[in-house]
Structures are given as C-alpha cells and as structure tokens.
Amino acid sequence: MCDTCGCNVTHGNAHLVQPGGRLSKTADGREAVNVLHGLLDANDHTAAHNREHFNKHGVLAINLMSSPGAGKTSLLEATIDALKDELSIAVIEGDLETENDASRIRAHGVPAIQITTGSACHLDAHMVHDALHMLELQKLDIVFIENVGNLVCPASFDLGQHSNVTLLSVPEGDDKPAKYPVMFRAADLVLLSKCDLLPVLDDFNPDNARRYLRELASSAPVFELSAKSTAGMDDWIHWLLAELSSLEHQSGRLAAATESA
Amino acid sequence: MHELAVCQALMEQVESIALEEQADSVVAVHLGIGPLSGVEPRLLEQAFFIARAGSIAAEAELVIENLPVRISCDQCGQTSDALPARLLCGVCGNWRTKLVSGDELQLQHMELVRQTADELAEPEADIQQQHERVN
C-alpha cells in the first residue's frame, strides 16, 4: 500500500478521489479534506527502513508468530543447534515481561535482544528498529524476530521482515486458521508444531488445518514438525536455507545493478 | 487491544493534517475499515474517545465505514463477496483468489472548521459601525 501510485484506492473508497479537488465545502460550512492514508503509515515507513537495513547486509529476517506456548522459543533453540556451525544467527525476543526467552537463546551461544513491551500485545517496527541498533548486522545471516505470543495483534504490524512464519501447535486445535484469519492469511509458512503429540491428541488433523488455510486463499506451505523430537525439522531448515539463498541472489543482482549503473 | 496503538497513530495523523490545513478544530474523522485489517471498529471507537481528549479533535465524531470483503478468482476471473475466514470464489468455489477489498485500515477524510478571512474581519466591521453610530 502506498500513496504514490494509488494502489490503496479500492472500490470502497474510490469515490473519495474522484475529480472535484482536494477540498470541498459541505453544506454546513465544514471543510472536507481527503486524506486516504493508511492508519499505520508511520509504522510501515519504519518497517521499510528496517527491511532496507536487512537487505543492505544480506540478512534474512523472519518474524515468528503464534499463540503463547506454541513452541516458538523451542523451535528457535532446535534451529540454532542445527545451523549454528554454518550460519550466524541472532534473535530479537518480544515479551510483555522477563528476559527468560533471551536467556534460553543466549545459552545456545547466539546473541539475543530482549524487548519487553510492558502492556503492549505486539511488536511494532519502531521497537524492532531500536533492537537492530544493538546487533552487528554485518556479521549475521539470519535474524529471527520472536513476536509476542498472540494470534491477533502482531498480524497488523509490519516489522520489516522478509517472511512471516506462523506456528500452530497440536494442542491448540486444527481450526485455528478459521478462527484467526488475519494472522494465518499473513503467514508465508505455517509450521504445525509439537507434532510428537499427534498420537495422543488424535482430534488434531493436519489435513483440516491445511484445508482451513486454503479457505483463506493462502498458498503458504505447511510443515509438520517437533522441535523436541526434531522430526520434520529438515523441511523447515531447507525452507530457511532456500529463503536465504534467494535473498542473497536478489542482493547480488541489486549490487551488480548498482555497480553497472 | 492493539486498537489503542492504532488509535495513537491515527491521532498523530489527524493532528498533523489539521496543523497543515491551519484548522481551528476537527469535527469529524472518517475511516474505512475492512474485517481483515485485524482492527475491531468498536474497540477503535472506544480508544478514540480517550485519545481525542485535549487534542484539536477533542469534539470530533468518528465515522467508520465498514468495508466489505470482496475477492476476485484466479480461475474464473469473477468478483464475489466472501466471509473473512472463507475466501473461496462465490462463483466457482476455487480457493485461489485475491482480495479486492476487506483489509483496509484507512483514514479516508476529515472535516475541519477554519475561520475564514471574512469571519476574522467581521468584529472590526462591527466596531466600525458602532463608531459611526456614536458619531
């Protein structure tokens, strides 16, 4: 969405930008000023700035979202263990309170910046921007942003990430995509986590979760995994490496284009 | 309740536009919100009543247009209405659709009150008339 090319003009608001000038006086003497700005333009501006930072350093930024307790931190611990010999990783942790998650990540030898949001139920682009100043991006390959555990609010705020990864853990039930359409529509990849529990929680059907996701017109891939048993971790790791190489490819082309210009 | 954060961002925009337009006050703020924006209009209204206090929009009314969910089908090319959690083509049932409308979170327009040059001149004219009458 931007104000430059008019791509935020939809059939619902197009009548507001019809010819007739920016200002039009109503019958009772009030002046109407057409605006057509996104309410979160300031956040989106900072998010774009964050994305430029990531791109400049060829760092892949992944925004991890889920309900509280779906296993985001456990997934990160297992991911760091799988990749730390080949890649340089850092984590930005968002929680209402405590440094607990950052401490867990640091125990795996990886830098972690804890953002405590107080009463805020989500991370926004400004908070991530502040955290970026505490990381040495030039030395990193991947930054994971572990958002506040919440299936509602984080979906509305762009942070400057390249991809949104949403976890749906088996104990939560397979109809979460239908109940939280905004969150699951925003996902570029959905991970069904805690799949080691499928034999005991047999009312969770992974195919139902996939069907509900397709009903949101989402073509995001869905992987089943367990950070605890490490079953299914390979698909996730391959996806991450493919995203990283596609980013490097893009940055390489961008650099080549800049040089030749 | 991220509606408070959204509302703060709204108030910053409202105040900066009012300043730019040299308005004396803002009497109405019109928003367009789709259900897939993730913002609940009723909660945003409540937040607005708190956030407007003491601002140039202290008396402003908040008018929210609830925009419909509309999708266009990649397969049959038709446009149809849809429910937020069921974005299947209303014509052929295909799931490969694109959202045409329904995720908007937009400040559409504002109604302002500005003292015009004529209104500013009026008190002086009154004094002039009184002066003439006295003489």
User: What is the ipTM, given to two decimal places?
Assistant: 0.80
Instruction: Write out pLDDT tens, residues A94-127.
Output: 999 999 999 999 999 999 999 998 888 999 999 9
CB neighbourhood size of A67 (10 A): 19
| DSSP annotation of A86 | T
Based on the structure, what is the number of domains in chain A?
A: 1
CB B107 within 8 A of CB A39: yes
Option in A43, A155, A178 nearest B38 (CB): A155
Beta strands in chain A (DSSP E): 23-25, 31-38, 60-65, 89-95, 112-116, 142-146, 163-169, 189-193, 222-224
CB A180 within 8 A of CB A152: yes
State the pLDDT at residue A25: 60
Residue A3 within a domain? no
Q: Is A37 on the interface with B (CB under 8 A)?
A: yes
Question: What pLDDT shows up at residue A27?
Answer: 56
State the burial class of residue B105 (Cβ atoms within 10 Å of its Cβ: 0-12, 13-18, 19+).
Answer: buried
Question: Within an 8 Å CB–CB cutoff, is residue A185 touching chain B?
Answer: yes
A60-65 and A112-116 as β-strands: parallel, antiparallel, unpaired?
A: unpaired
Neighbours of A128 (CB within 10 A): 27
* pLDDT tens, residue by residue, A39-97: 999 999 999 999 999 999 999 999 999 999 999 999 999 999 999 999 999 999 999 99
> Would you tell me which CATH number, out of the four given (3.10.330.20, 3.50.50.60, 3.30.2320.50, 3.30.950.10), belongs to the domain B3-67+102-134?
3.30.2320.50
Tell me the per-residue pLDDT of A134-179, one tens digit each, with 9 for 90 and over.
Answer: 999 999 999 999 999 999 999 999 999 999 999 999 999 999 999 9
For A1, which residue in chain B has the nearest alpha carbon?
B104
pLDDT of residue A45: 96
Q: Is residue A259 included in any domain, yes or no? A: no
CATH 3.30.2320.50 in chain B: give the residue spans. 3-67+102-134
Residues of chain B with pLDDT under 50: 124-125, 127, 135
Domain of A85, in residue numbers: 57-252
Residue A32 lies inside a defined structural domain of this protein: no
For A211-252, the pLDDT digits (tens) are 999 999 999 999 999 999 999 999 999 999 999 999 988 877
Q: Judge whether A146 lies within some domain.
A: yes
Question: Hey, are the CB atoms on B106 and A8 less than 8 Å from each other?
Answer: yes
- C-alpha distance from B56 to closest chain A C-alpha (Å): 15
Q: Is residue A209 situated within a structural domain?
A: yes
Q: Does the CB of A17 have a partner CB in chain B at under 8 Å?
A: no
B chain contacts of residue A37, beta-carbon cutoff 8 Å? 13, 106-107
Nearest to B109 among A33, A157, A177 (CB): A33
A241-256 pLDDT, tens per residue?
999 999 988 877 777 7
Distance from CA of B130 to the nearest CA of A (A): 28
pLDDT at residue A8, as a whole number: 43
Q: Does B17 touch chain A (CB under 8 A)?
A: yes
Q: State the Cα–Cα distance between residues A197 and A186, nearest whole angstrom.
A: 26
Report chain B residues whose CB lies below 8 A from the CB of A10: 67, 100-101, 104
Q: How many CA atoms lie within 13 A of A150 on its CB side?
A: 20
How far apart (Å, rounded) are the C-alpha atoms in residues A126 and A130? 6
CA dist A116 → A92, A164, B116, B132 (Å): 11, 21, 49, 70
Name the 3-class secondary structure at A80.
helix
Nearest chain B Cα distance for residue A40, angstroms: 6
Give the pLDDT confidence score for residue B116 in this predicted structure: 65
Q: Decide if A31 and B37 are in contact by the 8 Å CB cutoff.
A: no
pLDDT at A11 over 70: no
What's the CATH code of the domain at A217?
3.40.50.300
pLDDT the model gives residue A80: 98
